[in-house]
Amino acid sequence: MEAVPLDGIGIALGVALMISWAFAKWRPHPILFLVDSIWFLCLAGYLIYDVWNGRSKLWMILVGLLLWMVITGFKHFTRFKGTVLSQHR
């Protein structure tokens, strides 16, 4: 069995998700909904690319869920834009 090669895009998406999570815990802000939407959009695009290159078409179910999450996150961003969620000390 051959080892799976290092996936730079997957690592970048994972690091971006960890940074977004840390900012959300440290200082919540509506822009994080937009960051999450962009993250989910990148992941959906990456999965579409993989399906195009021979991965199972069943991954498109996850792509549909991810695109729904993109829309929902963008709606939350527009809803809470201008609202300060963190408390200033």
What is residue 45's predicted lDDT score, i.e. its pLDDT?
94
Q: Whole-prediction pTM value?
A: 0.74
- Choose the most confident range, by mean pLDDT, from 3-7, 45-49, 53-57: 45-49
Here the tokens at position 89 are 């000390």
Angle at 34 between CA 8 and CA 62, to 5 degrees: 60
Q: How confident is the model at residue 89 (pLDDT cuts 50, 70, 90)?
A: low
pLDDT at 85 over 70: no
Mean pLDDT confidence for 63-85: 86
43 has a pLDDT exceeding 80? yes
The predicted pLDDT at position 36 comes to 87
Residue 86 has pLDDT above 80, yes or no: no
Tokens of 7: 């996936």
